[in-house]
A and B are shown apart, each in its own frame.
Chain A
């Protein structure tokens, strides 16, 4: 037990250090301020519409829908940008400014170092998501006068979607010398992750009789099975469309643990790839 605590003590301190440094990054703060402004603006926009239509139950629901749509889009876009940006930059930046030399010359193994950096990234991503979600919840609460508990489930799934992209962006960053390539890589992963479902269509439509066609089908099938499918997390939008006070439908509730495990499995895979790349990296 003591050995395990000792082992994780180093990564924990590195994570806290990463968090403290990360939350001060100007680009990240800029993204966050922008997203909070948009969320805030959605609230004012709905207030304006309320005044012009005279209010009432129907208008309140429309307002709520407007706020939800704007906020969900904002959290998805800015949250993902923050996730990619921070995941892509923490390791290359430390290699560039030589902090990694001072850390790895201490009794810190590369696996511990990466674990600390990855945990630090997740702390930043979670904090940003929590801040944006909190403002979103307040906006909905003020407009609909009911605490939208269901949105917390949606936020949870959004985090696991971010986690998958973050892990693979982090893995790319461990082989890169600057944050540019991993940032592009992260955006690519996000894009691919949302298109994976189409690969299934390709594999289903392929003609087994034609060699080239069959080959494309098999490759598409293999990619569909291995690449993360971010569309699986789209259930979060289904949750958003429910009445905030309504109970979570059973079929949605059942999927949540699976999606969490799915996200964690891909995150662990991303971390393993990151370590495999970084293990013998010449610094």
Chain B
């Protein structure tokens, strides 16, 4: 698997003219994105995700460090630009244009024309499921349709790499699922996707690797399986008194949630499952269900960011 995006020591510092204190938007970022994978680029607001993406696209310039895309340092070169598709967050497309007209404009910027361009427009519209609305004005599009036409403009040159900033934000569950399916299909066709998102549940379902950024520094990076190693057990019981819960807590079993009157208990991953069940039995709890459980990307994200916050405040 070849590396298609690589940054080494990439930094971005904004000079503050008033306080005399520099603001580090990105600190010596070493990042690789491999060919044919979906890489989730995660982080809270202001962590440096968009800064990284803008630097990859040449929209802003690094203070230090280097970027290589497809093995080329000249990221503004035609070869690199031909092979990158970008979907910005909340981009606007003129209302008076039809879906196919927007794509024609962006296709022309890649030097496409004539029959080749029209064929490509039909292909991408098919790919994002927008063929039915190709002649409709954008003012008649729903938010999901606009997002799909945005994705179509990113795909118009059939690029090898797609950089998507919040592709599912603001979409309803059905539109989100459709977008997720499209992205997964693109990955299956060999495209490389770098997705910046706050929709962690969505991202977890389709990503191969993820990196968590906080205050301009990568806190964790790896495959989803490598990152989500914390596995434990949940036990669902009818109910438990405060006293029983106190006893359970002393042994490490903690209440996690309450759903329809049933209590979900979380067993730490270093405790034997049988021991946990015996403790519940000793406390005369009525067991409803026992299920293995893996930490979600959302939990990992919250934990990682929380740890980073604690480190930065101490």
Q: Could you say which of A68-76, A103-111, A188-196, A233-241 contacts chain B?
A: A103-111
What residue of chain A has the Cβ atom nearest to residue B90's Cβ? A98
Is A280's beta carbon under 8 Å from chain B?
yes
Within the complex, the shortest CB–CB distance from A7 to chain B, in Å, comes to 11
Q: Is the pair A102, B153 in contact by a Cβ cutoff of 8 Å? A: yes
Shortest CB distance A89–B (Å): 14
Top 5 nearest A-B pairs by Cβ distance? Answer: A97-B92, A107-B81, A105-B86, A106-B109, A13-B108
Say how far A23's CB is from chain B's closest CB, in angstroms.
Answer: 10
Is A208 interfacial (CB-CB < 8 Å)?
Answer: no
Q: State which of A13, A97, A102 has its C-beta within 8 Å of the C-beta of B86.
A: A102
Give the residue of A21, A103, A280 whose beta carbon is less than 8 angstroms from that of B109. A103
A205 within 8 A of B: no
User: Nearest Cβ in chain A — how far from B251, in angstroms?
Assistant: 54
The answer on a CB contact under 8 Å between B91 and A106 is: no
Judge whether A44 is part of the interface by a CB distance below 8 angstroms. Answer: no
Residues of A within 8 A of B153 (CB): 102
Q: What residue in chain B is nearest A14 (Cβ atoms)?
A: B109
* Complex contacts, A108 vs chain B, CB 8 Å: 81, 109
Chain A residues in 8 Å Cβ range of B59: 101, 104-105, 282-283
- Interface SS of A by simple majority: helix
Spell out A's residues near B (CB within 8 Å).
Answer: 6, 9-10, 13-14, 17, 20-21, 24, 97-99, 101-109, 280, 282-283
> 1/0 per residue B59-89: CB within 8 Å of A?
1110000000000000010100110111111
20 CB < 8 A contacts A-B:
A10-B108, A10-B109, A13-B109, A14-B109, A24-B96, A97-B91, A99-B91, A99-B93, A101-B54, A101-B57, A102-B86, A102-B150, A102-B153, A102-B154, A105-B58, A105-B59, A106-B81, A106-B109, A106-B110, A282-B60
Q: Is the pair B106, A107 in contact by a Cβ cutoff of 8 Å?
A: no
How near does chain A come to B61, taking the closest CB pair, in angstroms? Answer: 7
Q: Of A13, A97, A101, A105, which is within 8 A of B105 by CB? A: A13
Are B111 and A107 neighbours in the complex by a CB distance under 8 Å?
A: yes
Which of A98, A105, A109, A280 lies in contact with B92, CB distance below 8 A? A98
By a beta-carbon cutoff of 8 Å, the part of chain B in contact with chain A is: 54, 57-61, 76, 78, 81-82, 84-94, 96-97, 105-106, 108-111, 150, 153-154, 157, 163
A101 contacts B78, C-beta separation under 8 Å: no
Contact, CB under 8 Å: A107 / B61: no
Q: Is the CB of B91 within 8 A of A107?
A: no
Whether B88 pairs with A6 at a CB distance below 8 angstroms is no
In contact, B91 and A104 (Cβ under 8 angstroms)? no
Q: Contact at B111–A6, with CB atoms within 8 Å? A: yes
Nearest chain-B residue to A16 (Cβ)? B105
| B106 and A102 within 8 A (CB) | yes
Residues on the A chain within 8 Å of B82, using CB: 107
A10, B106: Cα distance in complex, Å: 10
Nearest chain B CB to A8 CB, angstrom units: 12
- Given contact pairs A101-B54, A102-B88, A105-B81, a sample of 7 additional A-B residue pairs in the complex whose CB atoms are under 8 Å apart: A14-B109, A98-B89, A104-B59, A105-B57, A107-B109, A108-B109, A283-B60
In the bound complex, CA of A21 to CA of B102 (Å): 12
Among candidates B91, B106, B108, residue contacting A101 with C-beta atoms closer than 8 Å: B91
Q: What is the chain A residue whose CB lies nearest that of B157?
A: A106
Distance in Å from the Cβ of A201 to the closest Cβ of chain B? 40
A21 to B54, alpha carbons, bound, how many Å? 25
- What is the CB-to-nearest-CB distance from A119 to chain B, in angstroms, rounded to a whole number? 15
User: Residue on B with the closest CB to A23?
Assistant: B96
B163's nearest neighbour on chain A, judged by CB, is A105
B26 to chain A, nearest CB (A): 13
If A13-B105, A109-B76 touch, whether A101 touches B110 (CB-CB below 8 Å) is: no
- Measured in the bound complex, the distance between the Cα atoms of B114 and A9 in whole Å is 14
Give complex CA distance A101, B87 in Å. Answer: 9
One of B91, B106, B111 near A98 (C-beta < 8 A): B91
Query: In the assembled complex, which residues on chain B have CB atoms less than 8 Å from the CB atom of A99?
Result: 91-93
Q: Compute how far the CA of A167 lies from the CA of B117 in the bound complex, rounded to whole angstroms.
A: 34
Please give the distance in Å from B272's CB to the nearest CB on chain A: 53
What is the CA–CA distance of A101 and B81 in the complex, to the nearest angstrom? 12
B133 shortest CB reach to chain A, Å:
19
Residue among B84, B89, B97, B150 making CB contact with A105, cutoff 8 Å? B84
A6 to B82, CA, bound (A): 14
C-alpha spacing A282/B59, complex, angstroms: 6
A19 to B105, CA, bound (A): 13
- Chain A residues with CB under 8 Å of B61's CB are 280, 282
Shortest Cβ distance from A24 into B: residue: B96
A104 touches which of B58, B90, B154 (Cβ 8 Å): B58
Most chain A beta carbons < 10 A, residue from B58, B150, B157: B58
- How long is the Cα–Cα vector from A280 to B60 in the complex, in angstroms? 8
Least CB distance from B76 to A in Å reads 7
Chain B residues whose C-beta falls within 8 Å of the C-beta of A10 in the assembled complex: 108-109, 111
Contact present for B109 and A101 (CB under 8 Å) = no
Q: Which residues of B contact A17 (CB under 8 A)?
A: 105
Task: Compute how far the CA of A173 lies from the CA of B137 in the bound complex, rounded to whole angstroms.
Answer: 30
**Least distance between A256 CB and chain B CB atoms (Å):** 36
